[in-house]
Amino acid sequence: MLEKIVVNPKIHFGKPCIAGTRITVQSILELINEGLTFNEIIRGYYPDLSIEGVRACV
């Protein structure tokens, strides 16, 4: 799963992101903390993201 998370100092000041996106792990964790399910996060916020990408953040 860790290959799904990357750190690039040129993207979001080096915050961990989901590989191939500019979506930060923090953004996903905040949505999970608000009570959204993985499917709700994908459907409502990041339709191009996979379940595996969301899982990798956790």
Number of domains in the chain: 1
pLDDT of residue 32: 98
**pLDDT tens digits, 10-43:** 999 999 999 999 999 999 999 999 999 999 999 9
Rounded CA-CA distance 15/25 in Å is 8
Find the domain containing 32 and state its range: 2-57
When pLDDT is averaged across residues 49-58 and rounded to a whole number, the result is 94
Checking if the pLDDT of 2 tops 90, the result is no
Global confidence as pTM: 0.90
Q: What is the CATH number of the domain that holds 14?
A: 1.10.10.10
Report pLDDT for 33: 98
Question: Cα(first)–Cα(last) distance of the chain, in Å?
Answer: 10
Q: Kindly give the residue spans of alpha helices, DSSP state H, lying in 1-58.
A: 25-33, 38-44, 51-57
Residues 13 and 8: their CA atoms lie apart, in Å, by: 8
